[in-house]
Amino acid sequence: MWVLKETVAFVAATLFVLQYGTASQGAAVDAAEPMIKSIENTGTSIGTVLDKNLERTEPKEKEILEKIQTTSSMHQPSNLWLIHELYLSSEIERAKNKIRAGLCDQYRGFRKFIIQIPPADAKLRDWMGSDEYDMKTVSPHLETEVISPLLVDRRKRKDRLLPIPEFTSGVVADRKRYFSRRVRELTNAYDYQMELIEEGANAVLNAMYNAVLTWAGMDEELFGDMLKPESIEDKADVVQLGLNVGDDLKCPRNVLKGPEKVLEGPKKVQEGPKSTEEN
């Protein structure tokens, strides 16, 4: 069962801080609470998508293996392997599309929060909107290997989970054993891809969580092994990482578009390359 454990476990501690923040943080803290809950709900929804995906795919392996064992055809074992590979690949794409759509929808609300709610520390907005920040700061992004499992490039030929196996034996019993092993390897490859998708989704949610906490001035450790920022410069990087996940995810343009200057300064959230998906 796939569960976004880190995300869900973090909520209780976060809401405690939200309730007992200092008076100077009032407005930012009040606005942060529903945003934190919204991100939590997105994490729960993603966990549901992954669980339902698992519920659909688990019985399929058993079904394919039973068909391989009962066939008397020399070619049927390889055909059944191919059918199962196509099915698992389609399930991966389905999960990617649903999860990415949910994350982009969450990003829309998160971005609106950053635009509309003043930070607990006015110096943070001033710094992020300054010419100096625009010129000197290398804009932080999630690592490619973390975000890429969530993306689908429709211009490329669909990648297979594993190469089509070749087995030249003409003995039906040998082919049954061989392709049964290959079917189990498909399941392992599928499980690994789903784990990468979950890790990517966690990284995106963590980036938005951390940005909200930092923007609202919460005295709380950050998620994802990120060090708690002390300087205005470091805090700005945490917020900017969250703002950049829309580009990292290649969210639809209607999600990315908005005020020309998000932080009342040089444009810090830029539209990335045109999405490779049809939105």
Using CA atoms, how far residue 66 sits from 63, 179, 210, 240, in Å, is 5, 12, 48, 52
Using CA atoms, how far residue 28 sits from 18, 32, 119, in Å, is 10, 6, 6
Residue 56: partners with Cβ closer than 8 Å, 6 or more residues away: 91
Residue 267: partners with Cβ closer than 8 Å, 6 or more residues away: 260, 261
Residue 113: exposed, middle, or buried by beta-carbon count in 10 A (0-12, 13-18, 19+)?
Answer: buried
Structure tokens at 111: 């971005």
pTM for the model stands at: 0.82
How many other C-beta atoms are found inside a 10 Å radius of the C-beta of residue 143? 10
Euclidean distance between CA atoms 235 and 223, whole angstroms: 14
pLDDT string in tens for the chain (279-residue length): 334 544 444 444 444 444 444 444 677 788 888 999 999 999 999 999 999 999 999 999 999 999 999 999 999 999 999 999 999 999 999 999 999 999 999 999 999 999 999 999 999 999 999 989 888 768 899 999 999 999 987 665 566 788 888 888 889 999 999 999 999 999 999 999 999 999 999 999 999 999 999 999 987 788 888 888 999 999 999 999 999 999 999 999 877 765 444 555 434 444 444 444 444
Residue 198: partners with Cβ closer than 8 Å, 6 or more residues away: 2, 4, 46, 50
User: What is the crossing angle of helices 76-116 and 26-70, to 10°?
Assistant: 180
Domain positions in the chain: 5-256
Amino acid at 38: S
Euclidean distance between CA atoms 149 and 164, whole angstroms: 21
The torsion angle over the Cα atoms of residues 243, 247, 251 and 252, rounded to 10 degrees, is: 110
